[in-house]
Amino acid sequence: MNSRFLQAATSINFPDLEQWKDEGKPVIGYSCSYVPSEIFHAAGILSMRLRGIETEGMEIGDSYFGPYICSFPKCILQLAGHGKFSILDGVVITPGCDSMRRLYECWQKAGEDYDGIVPGFFHYLDVPHKTVSHRIDWFVDEITALKIAVEEKYNLRLDQDKINASIEVYNTGRRLMDELEGLRRKESVPLSGSEAFAVAVAGTVMWRDDFNNELKQYVENLKTNATDTHKHKKRLMLIGSISDDIELVSLVESNNKAVVVADNLCFGVRQEENEISINDDPLRALARFYLGESTCPRMFGKYGERLTLMKKKIETCKVDGVILQNIRFCDLHGSENGLFERDLEKVGVPCLKLEREYGPLTETGRIKMRIDAFLERIS
């Protein structure tokens, strides 16, 4: 596994980030895939997706959220309360779901008791639930407000040329990720699912130019030097609730009988085959891409499109079975996974539906036993 990607994917304060901060450059954390990182890149700011890895307790998360809620935002708040995000100069929160929306006020409330945990730049980016034209207009206004807030905070101006240049940098990364996905679709798979997922997670926290350069070399190396170490393994697809923990993918592959060749996870690969237009107003192009291309169950009236995408990936990746996992109390993925299970089993695709806690709280023994039983079923 590429060590640079692995360090970025498994640590909050990884070497690339520490070097960035040592050079006096700003870092802004964001909570959801709807946040257009191109805005920050154009401003010379490293945007880092907020993660809950390294959580060791839940006393702060439980105190401000309560017990009966998704454990992912609680883990983020837990880490914030312990100063794990002190490296951030700012934070952007969105209503990815109601639990993530509450992170905005819970973080601020916790800041009354834990000094210094709320950064000076603390922005709420509202995200519509539909992709109709007037909702796109609304999202353009939200992205515009974010752009203005960044300009005022850092005393700079983000013109169209700067934003379009950053869009092209991110498009380059998307093309490289699509190349990597193409290798996973082959009958001879040159990398494990956990290796591919580490790359995807690293792409949400590394400076994009550095990520692109590293990924280009990684893909070329796989094309020329990699060997198939996953022959005769069952080809699985992993979908469902948010996960930034490669250990979940490693757990699926731990018995050496399966390899994850496709996923549809919030930190994983969803829309890398699509690119953002640079022939339009850049803020509107960003709004159309981040809102219109979403395959998240928070988006109203899109189940048919999401099911079609699942079936397409299952066919092109020659998937033998699908694992549908959701974090406990995740109503969106928990409900939709039931629909996916019904509709995929109906067309002959074996499915395993799992409920779990987030990341480091996952009950690995129980999950592994059910995965082992599932592999026996599809063998």
Same domain, 141 and 249: no
**What pLDDT sits at residue 272?**
67
- Per-residue pLDDT of 148-164, as tens digits, reads 999 999 999 999 999 99
Tell me, yes or no, whether 126 lies in a domain.
yes
Ranges of H-type helices in the chain: 3-10, 15-22, 37-42, 59-65, 71-81, 98-110, 133-154, 160-185, 193-202, 208-225, 246-253, 282-292, 303-316, 331-346, 364-378
Predicted model pTM: 0.95
**Residue 47 placed within a domain:** yes
Residue pLDDT, tens place only, 84-96: 999 999 999 999 9
pLDDT of residue 292: 81
Which pLDDT does position 267 carry in this prediction?
Answer: 86
- Predicted confidence at residue 360, as pLDDT, reads 67
Encoding tokens for residue 96? Answer: 């990815």
What was the pLDDT predicted at 280? Answer: 86
**CATH number reported for the structural domain that contains residue 56 in this entry:** 3.40.50.11890
Please check whether residues 254 and 114 belong to one and the same domain: no
The pLDDT tens digits of the residues spanning 119-147 come to 999 999 999 999 899 999 999 999 999 99
48 and 88 both lie in a single domain: yes
- Tell whether 310 and 343 lie within a shared domain: yes
- For residues 137 and 14, membership in a common domain is answered with yes
Are both 7 and 156 inside the same structural domain? yes
User: For residues 97 and 300, what is the distance between their CA atoms, to the nearest angstrom?
Assistant: 12
The residue ranking higher by pLDDT, 31 or 360, is: 31
Domain of 173, in residue numbers: 168-181+235-378
Q: What is the pLDDT of residues 240-265, one digit of tens each?
A: 999 898 999 999 999 889 999 999 99
Number of domains in the chain: 2
Alpha carbon 186 to its chain centroid, in Å, reads 24
Separation of alpha carbons 250 and 53, rounded Å: 15
pLDDT tens by residue, 47-81? 999 999 999 889 999 999 988 899 999 999 999 99
144 is a domain residue: yes
**HSE-up (13 A, CA, CB side) for residue 220:** 6
Work out whether the CA dihedral 177, 183, 186, 188 comes out positive or negative. Answer: negative
Provide the edge-to-edge strand list for the sheet that holds 321-327: 258-264, 234-240, 321-327, 351-356
184, pLDDT greater than 80: yes
- We report the CATH number of the domain holding residue 288 as 3.40.50.11900
Position 371 pLDDT exceeds 80: yes
